[in-house]
Amino acid sequence: MSGGFKIDIDQVGGLVTTLENAGDRMTRANNALKDLAPSDMGSEEIDESAGEFQDRWEHGIEKIIEFSTSLTDGLKQARKLYVEMDSGAASSLNQMSSELSGGGGQQSGDSEISCRLEGRA
């Protein structure tokens, strides 16, 4: 893989929050439409059309909420795994760096690898 792979954990967290909020907003909009009285709409034809639209809208919103909930759960799990992997990799690199710099006098602490691991090169 030539360019590598990078993920912004904070942005994934923001996306999760956005998706969670979107489901709530859609449900509120659907409930507001459902709560309209015929007198709010105008004529009987408009009221019937609005009722039909509301039925289709409700089904679509339910599907969107199902999908966004599933996507949100997957993103939360992926985010958790990336954080764990990043933490584990950092811990392993720190341990290696520590062993290389203080490993029984075999390495000089200022080797090129040690410097890079410590961000000095």
Give the pLDDT confidence of 50-83 residue by residue, as tens digits. Answer: 777 777 888 888 888 888 889 999 999 998 998 8
How much of the chain exceeds pLDDT 90, in percent?
7
pTM of structure: 0.56
- The answer to whether residue 107 scores a pLDDT higher than 60 is no
pLDDT level of residue 109 (50, 70, 90 thresholds): low
Residue 13: both structure tokens together: 């967290």
